[in-house]
Amino acid sequence: MAIQLFVPTYRVDECIEEIRQCLELGWTGIGFKTVEFESAWRAYTGHKHAHFVNSATAGLHLAVKILKQVHGWQDGDEIVSTPLTFVSTNHAILYEKMKVVFADVDEHLCMDPEDLERRIGPRTRAVMFVGLGGNTGQYADILAICRKHRLPLILDGAHMAGTRLHGEMPGKEADVAVYSFQAVKNLPTADSGMICFADEEMDGICRKYTWLGINKDTYTRTHSAGNYKWKYDVEYLGYKYHGNSVMAAIGLVQLRYLDEDNRFRRQVAQWYEDRLGHGSSRAKPIPVAADCESSRHLFMIESGNRDELLHVLNDNEIYPGVHYRDNTDYAMYAYGQGTCPRAHDMSGRILSLPMHLQLREEDVDRVCEIVAAHAKE
């Protein structure tokens, strides 16, 4: 039987029951379940504010846009980011006509604090930190540098649903954190995300931007009193970025099981570690930072013959993934080539092994047997 990289798991009956409430009430858009899910996410994470959006990409775009607007940044100003991420991280910066400056990665494949310090210049306005695979890397050091230089911190927590650092959910200390609930994430819906501003004013601006700049969403107008509840103003040139109640209904169910599911992911990761770690294999697992209880969205290894190993695994009906190609290899970010040698080197060596809730220990045995036999340093 084929072993896939990702296989999402849904509690189907519970999801259908939550969705049924939306259908029976005739309310499938913004409001109702989106409000409930936002409240549940705040309670789970400790964030003061949380706004449900249709994707993490939309959330990242709004994070940059609103910070730029509020702080008066200019086109061409810079945000320091990582080249080892999905392109939506860095596209969000380009959407707002700002420049991505790339900082190299550390052993955890997260932003290297020392290289970040070297990249900060007179036009640096913020830092975008990516918790790759659910790892926190040297997040505390990155945060300290941001505070030292008075730079806002944007946390791309797309992989971090359920990650803890020193027992706490990271992100509350950032200026804004964005999470993904895309189809194969740890908390899967069909597609959606959450944006969490620390500042109340920015959260309010965000809610207008996600509904085309309108200052009263449909749910608010429906539940307001008086003859003029239909009347609203359009304060910004906004977007259709808000989430809907059907996706939120699924998210509410998935959130109930997130910690349980992540515990199983960490068990799968431990199986991999036991078989591939401790120098017993030429494939090296990417380490998780100390005091990080990772969501384990990914289990990543390093191998000197990554592409060859990938083909061998495919020939055996095992389908790993690569997270990610060095963004400076793409034409639009080619100006950054050569600036992050470690990220570039690791981009050609890393492989993400199957990681999902339907894996069995014998599946991990099968994967590791092939990896151990064919990986090269």
Our CA dihedral for 337, 340, 344, 350, rounded to 10 degrees, sits at -150
pLDDT at 232: 87
Task: Looking at the structure, tell me whether residues 137 and 96 fall in a common domain.
Answer: yes
The pLDDT score that the predictor gives to residue 281 is: 74
Domain-located, residue 4: no
In a domain, 222, yes or no: yes
Residue 75 and residue 68 in contact, taking contact as beta carbons nearer than 8 Å:
no
Mean pLDDT for 238-260 is: 98
The rounded Cα 223 to chain-centroid distance in angstroms is 33
Range of the domain at 162: 10-256
Q: Does residue 1 sit within a domain? A: no
Tokens of 24: 């029976």
Evaluate the omega torsion of the peptide bond into residue 179 and state whether it is cis, within 30 degrees of 0.
no
136, 217: one domain: yes
User: Between the CA of residue 347 and those of 4, 6, 343, 360, what are the distances in Å?
Assistant: 21, 20, 6, 28
195 and 215 within one domain? yes
Pair (147, 200) in one structural domain: yes
pLDDT at 358: 98
**Which of 14-28, 157-171, 206-220 has the weakest average pLDDT?**
206-220
Measured between its terminal Cα atoms, the distance across the chain in Å is: 29
339: domain CATH number?
3.90.1150.10
Average pLDDT over residues 210-216: 90
Domain final residue, candidates 224, 240, 256: 256
Closest Cα partner for 96 from 51, 60, 52? 60
User: Is 5 a domain residue?
Assistant: no
In this structure, what token pair is assigned to residue 221?
């107008």
Total domains in the fold of the chain: 2
For residue 202, what pLDDT band results from cuts at 50, 70 and 90?
very high
CATH (domain of 169): 3.40.640.10
The length of the chain in residues reads: 377
Say whether both 98 and 199 belong to one domain. yes
User: Quick check: helix, strand or coil at residue 214?
Assistant: strand
Residue 229 has pLDDT above 90, yes or no: no
User: Does residue 289 share a domain with residue 239?
Assistant: no
Same domain, 232 and 100: yes
Q: Average pLDDT over the chain, rounded to whole?
A: 95
Whether 117 and 77 share a structural domain: yes
pTM summary value: 0.96
pLDDT at 314 over 80: yes
* End position of a domain, from candidates 198, 231, 256: 256
- Tokens 């499938």 — which residue? 28
In a domain, 269, yes or no: yes
Q: How far, in Å, CA of 163 to CA of 263, rounded? A: 11
pLDDT at 219 > cutoff 90: no
Q: Is the domain of 278 the same as that of 333?
A: yes
> CA–CA separation, 316 vs 199, rounded Å?
51
Residue 267's pLDDT band, with cuts at 50, 70 and 90, is very high
